[in-house]
Amino acid sequence: MTDDDTGPMGIDRTRIEKGGFLLFLAVLTALALLVAWPFLAALFWSVLAAIMFQPLYQRILASMGGKANRAALATLGVITVAVVIPMIVIGTMIVDQATEVYLALSEQQIDAGEFFIRIREALPARVQVMIEGSGYGDFDTVRDRLAELARESAGMIAGRAMAIGGGALGFVLSFGVGLYVTYFLLRDGQTLGPALRRALPMPQDVARPLSDRFLSIVRATIKGSVVVGLVQGALGAITFWIAGLPAVLLFGLLMAILSLLPAVGPAIVWLPAAVYLLATGAIWQGVFVIVSGVAVIGMADNVLRPILVGRDTGIPDWIILISTLGGIAAFGISGVVAGPVIAGLFLAAWPMLSPREEPAPEGE
């Protein structure tokens, strides 16, 4: 250290300057987050779309002779037509069905508790006696709870729809920003990724495996949770439509969400529906729902998940469940992916603190 680096009272000027720069950088980062906060969800989904569709972009780029701008626009068109527009249309229909169910329940046009009573009356007398003896025979209380649960569930979806409708300008703006950013991420992703990794304030032998882990978890989560859930929800909606049940898209959405639960999953929706159909005399419809639930909806997870995901995540099922539900509670729909990604990076980062074993010398 030279005299120029030391202040009049022996203070290390270089350290102060470095600390001042870090403080300035922290404040600047906080301000940047504040500015981008209204579009954080749109930016997050743009990153996910760029990661998932980067292979498609590379194929289109090769077919167009390396014209990056045209390839990015073509890929963005595929995303819009194949993913965005169908989700908007289906989402609007689900919202309409949820609103209709909520209004019908509020105006008592549908008595959710009556379904439970009809199922109870269809049970054998011995089973009814067993239920009464077990302490679960207070059907009036159960009926009221079921009606309240149905109103709250449908009302929550309807409320979300009204919130989106009320902020239509913000939704359109975020949607446009998301597509705009996705275009540049697709075009420049191959250079942005390594540049961001090199800019991380950590050793490259740590940053590299963490970035690779991030990419693998994102791909596995979207393919394993989102795609498989949507397939199971679609199969459930088709099953309910064939069986003549109402609000099939709403029930399909519920099955897609509940597919996150291991073992039971969509059966929480289709099994009570099958029991109700059987109890009300719709025998073939009830049998069809059971067969489809076991052989089609349930098997879709067992067939698709190993093909789409393989062993990309290495995260236990119970951690995926907790992180997904917790992510939804914290970040909304973005938490479906954000939760497992955070959990995966957490599990990958902590072992890096432990000292690595040195290789044994040769001859020992």
Question: What percent of the chain is helix, strand and coil (3-state, nearest 5)?
Answer: 80, 0, 15
CA gap 166, 175 in Å, rounded: 15
* The model's pTM: 0.71
Q: Which two tokens stand for residue 145?
A: 């709870």
Q: For residues 47 and 57, is the Cβ–Cβ distance under 8 A?
A: no
* Candidate ranges 20-29, 71-80, 190-199, 246-255; pick with highest mean pLDDT: 71-80
- Nearest partner of 221 among 52, 348, 103, 2, judged by Cα: 52
Q: CA nearest 342: which of 261, 223, 221?
A: 221
Which positions ≥6 away from 85 have C-beta within 8 Å? none
What is the per-residue pLDDT across 315-337, written as a single tens digit (0 to 9) for each? 777 787 788 888 888 887 778 78
Q: pLDDT (tens digit, 9 = 90+) per residue, 147-180? A: 565 556 555 555 555 554 445 556 677 778 888 8
* 23-27, 93-97, 191-195, 302-306: range with highest mean pLDDT: 23-27
Q: For 363, which DSSP code?
A: T
Whole-angstrom Cα distance, residue 174 to residue 77? 18
How confident is the model over 34-66, as pLDDT tens digits?
A: 888 888 888 888 888 888 898 899 999 999 888
Examine the pLDDT at 363 and tell me if it is beyond 80.
no
Strand partners, 12: 6
Say which residue the tokens 């044994």 belong to: 360
In this structure, of 26-30, 137-141, 256-260, 298-302, the range with the lowest mean pLDDT score is: 137-141
Q: What CA–CA distances, in Å, run from 241 to 36, 99, 290?
A: 43, 19, 14
Measure the CA–CA gap between 189 and 215, rounded to whole angstroms: 12
Q: Work out the angle at residue 98's Cα, subtended by the Cα atoms of residues 271 and 171, and round it to the nearest 5 degrees.
A: 125
Whether residue 245 contacts residue 251, with contact meaning beta carbons closer than 8 Å, is answered with yes
Q: What is the pLDDT of residue 237?
A: 92
- Percent of the chain scored above 70 by pLDDT? 72
Per-residue burial over 211-232, b = 16 or more CB atoms within 10 Å of its CB, e = otherwise: bebbebbbbbbbbbbbbbbbbb
Looking at residue 22, its pLDDT comes to 82
Helix/strand/coil for 6: strand
CA dist 257 and 336 (Å) reads: 10
Alpha-carbon dihedral angle through residues 177, 179, 180, 185, given to the nearest 10 degrees: 120
The proportion of the chain whose per-residue pLDDT surpasses 90, expressed as a percent, equals 9
Rounded mean pLDDT, 131-156: 57
> d(Cα 58, Cα 79) in Å, to the nearest integer?
14
Phi, psi (5° rounding) for residue 316?
-60, 150
Q: Which residue has the higher pLDDT, 151 or 237?
A: 237
